[in-house]
Amino acid sequence: MAKSYDSKDIVVLEGLDAVRMRPGMYIGTTGTKGLHHLLWEIVDNSVDEIANGYGDTIKVTLEEDGSVQVEDNGRGIPVDIHPQMKVSGVEVVFTQLHAGGKFNNENYNFSGGLHGVGASVTNALSRWLTVSVFRDGYEYEMQFESKGSGSKIKSGIPVSPLKKVGKTDRTGTLIRFMPDDRVFEDIVFDLDTVSRRLREIAFLNKGIRIILVDERKLENGEPFTQVYKYDGGLSDFVKYLNENKTVEHATPIYFEAKSDLVQLACAMQYTNSYVENTFSYVNNIPTSEGGTHEVGLKNALTRAFTELGKHANLIKDKDISLTGEDFREGLTIVLAIKARNVQFEGQTKTKLGNTEIKPEVEALCYQKLMEFFDKGANKKILELAIDKAKNAAKVREAARKAKEITRAKNSIENSNLVGKLSSCSGRKPELNELFIVEGDSAGGSAKMARDRSFQAILPLRGKPLNAEKKRIAQVLANEEIRTIISALGTGIGEDFNLSNLKYHKVIILSDADQDGAHIRAILLTFFFRYMKELVLNGHVYIGLPPLYKVQKRDHIEYVYSDVELPEAIERVGKGYQIQRYKGLGEMNPEQLWDTTMDPKTRSLMRVTLEDAANAELMITTLMGDNIEARKQYISEHANFNKVDSFKPTSNA
């Protein structure tokens, strides 16, 4: 723990000049993800204070006017004059890019958010920002504004120097800011997004208390308030992820370990599921593409379980050889590490690339797993793990031939596609699109409507299998699933290879009704479970066919949602006719091309994976075996009272 924390500890790397001109370089996007990134930069700083032993509480308030406030009870940002910059530490932190106390190891042993760019970017992209510091018995205050218009806006300019406003016995920092509507497409913070991330941070930082208040949402006359605090840390996280599953042992396997290079915590619990679910984090950042830390853990788990099983005479020489995949079947794992100088790789920068971390994590996890199962009370879990692995190995061996069918370019695979896939003539996968279409009728229209130079059509003649409830052998036995795998060319599961993808846009095109929604859910579940990289790398889309056609003579407008309908009717004017499409098969090829397939006019929704843990919970709830959990979710989120409020034809 640092002896002092003053302005001299703030390292300055560069200024703010380019932030307003190219915000995407600093926060990724000016859409909703970038908007929330402003908040995470401030929250990350508060988490670092508490994670390193200073304070215990963070409060986030979504204000009625659209601004947001973050308050902690840490030490408070240094207020003395910075020796290099000749202004207060507060002014340095909010006006200099990459300025903070995290760039050496003296004030923060490990810190989160190092992928970010600091509080200064939040200031630069806000209309205004105010900061109050409670430190050394006094309260200090400073305000910043972004002034000007057009290309001549000056960002994050101090209104006045830091001033002392009174005495206090508090410590900590309070920051409030208003995102700049001249930068962002929308400046409304989403309660669910904020809530999920704060809950995740509380799980990852055992014992931290995070209070979320939404002044915009009243419950019984009071603002919505939620408190997140998990003394069990990752154990509580695993229990949360498995709450709608049947668990095989009540208490998760849990351990912590630390070396000079890395600090880690890990929790895991077996369920009766047939799939493995691993969620990893580095410095509180989700690493949905995995990386060297995940590889280290999985190697340790395989090695430890194999040695423990043989030592306990649970694994015999005559048994089928067990793989890491066998040991992880049905296992929910959360791994969180903290390290310095982390390097992120992958298309979405969510994969840890530090090679030195793999052997370190492997050694620490192996040691802790051996210690955990050395206790007699945990022998039952070991027996359970070995038994599940043996069963998984038997199924794996039985499924081997089925998996080979999906890998090999042989006559069996090709025959699966005869009469089904209408391929395109283009030979550049990055330009090609595959439409997975519901039913032969819609498939026929799509085949006639498409541009065959880059668009392929794969009609589904039956409902695919729900991959959430079946082993891989059963999934591969489903003809529709097999056809999709063959068409994409990537293989699945451990054999998945993104470089073999034949179509860089995989578009699910189904009817805008309950059956269509169910087919979308089944396909997305399959992609999430067995082709997750397809989703992570942004190759999966949902086609959005129109719900209505509003027509008055030659004036036609296609409407894609109920919200848009009244405006479309008003634009078309009196004497309109309206048609509601019940399915894609009702459209002729020209209409299908104009509304749903033409890249110039169609609407596509890219499927993203911002929050893998939340996606896991949703898929388990909606597609798993827990009927009560599904009923509860539907009851809370469905609109059962919706009625159509239009007449089929109007001559008014």
Residue pair 131/90 in contact by the 8 Å Cβ criterion: yes
Q: Return d(Cα 244, Cα 614) in angstroms, integer.
A: 13
On the question of pLDDT at 409 being above 80, the answer is: no
Is the pLDDT at 557 greater than 90? The verdict is no
pLDDT over 90, % of the chain: 46
Which range, of 39-43, 419-423, 469-473, 640-644, averages the lowest pLDDT? 640-644
Q: Which residues contact 641 (CB under 8 A, 6 or more apart)?
A: none
Q: What is the pLDDT confidence band of residue 85, given thresholds at 50, 70 and 90?
A: confident
pLDDT in tens, 194-246: 999 999 999 999 999 999 999 998 888 899 999 999 999 999 999 999 988 89
Q: Which residues pair with 291 in a beta bridge?
A: 352
Predicted pLDDT of residue 29 = 86
Mean pLDDT calculated for residue range 156-163: 91
Q: List pLDDT tens digits, range 592-649.
A: 898 899 999 888 888 877 666 666 666 666 666 666 666 665 666 555 545 444 444 3
Cβ-based neighbours of 596, under 8 Å, separated by 6 or more: 509, 543, 544, 545, 546, 584, 587, 602
Q: Would you state the pLDDT for residue 619?
A: 65
Contacts of 149 (CB under 8 A, 6+ apart): none
Asked if 402 and 335 count as a contact pair (C-beta separation under 8 A), the reply is: no
Sequence-distant contacts of 605-608: CB under 8 A, at least 24 apart: 605/541, 605/542, 605/544, 606/538, 606/540, 606/541, 607/524, 607/527, 607/535, 607/540, 607/541, 607/542, 608/535, 608/538
Q: Is the pTM of this model over 0.85?
A: no
Identify the H or E element spanning 246: none
pLDDT value of position 210: 97
Task: Give the amino acid at 96.
Answer: Q
Nearest-angstrom CA–CA distance, 419 and 434: 16
pLDDT at res. 412: 37
Residue 443 pLDDT > 50: yes
| Percent of residues, the chain, with pLDDT higher than 70 | 85
pLDDT of residue 100: 56
Side-by-side strand order, sheet with 433-438:
455-460, 433-438, 505-509, 540-543, 604-606
Please give the positions annotated as active site.
438, 511, 513, 515
Output the CA torsion 214→216→220→222 (10° steps).
60
Q: Under DSSP, is residue 100 helix (H, G, I), strand (E, B) or coil? A: strand
Look at residue 171 and tell me whether its pLDDT is greater than 50.
yes
Higher pLDDT, 84 or 508: 508
**Residue 603 backbone phi and psi in degrees, to 5:** -120, 125
Q: How much is the pLDDT for 300? A: 97
Q: C-alpha distances in angstroms, 81 versus 88, 162, 165?
A: 4, 10, 17
**Cα first-last separation, the chain:** 76
Q: How far apart are CA 422 and CA 223, in angstroms?
A: 55
**Token code pair at residue 185:** 């497409």
CA 255 – CA 266 distance, rounded (Å): 6
Angstrom distance (rounded) from CA 543 to CA 265: 41
Higher pLDDT, 335 or 413: 335
Complete DSSP assignment for 118-167: -HHHHHHTEEEEEEEEEETTEEEEEEEEEE-SGGGPEEEEESS--EEEEE
Query: What is the per-residue pLDDT across 3-46, written as a single tens digit (0 to 9) for each?
Result: 576 777 655 544 565 787 788 788 888 889 899 999 999 999 99
Task: Determine the longest span between alpha carbons in the chain, in angstroms.
Answer: 84
Mean pLDDT of the chain: 84
Residue 408's pLDDT is 45
pLDDT tens column, 87-132: 898 998 898 876 555 545 555 566 555 444 688 999 999 999 999 9
DSSP-assigned states of every residue in 260-308 = SSEEEEEEEEEBS-SS-EEEEEETTEE-TT-BHHHHHHHHHHHHHHHHH
Between 474 and 358, the higher pLDDT residue: 358
pLDDT for the residue numbered 114: 43
Instruction: Note the pLDDT of residue 57.
Output: 96
- pLDDT per position as a tens digit, 262-318: 999 999 999 988 888 999 999 998 998 899 999 999 999 999 999 999 999 999 888
Point out which residues pair with 555 in neighbouring strands: 552
Structural domains of the chain ordered from first start: 7-228 (3.30.565.10), 234-400 (3.30.230.10), 408-545+604-610 (3.40.50.670)
pLDDT tens-digit series, residues 309-368: 999 999 988 888 899 999 999 999 999 999 988 888 866 678 899 999 999 999 999 999
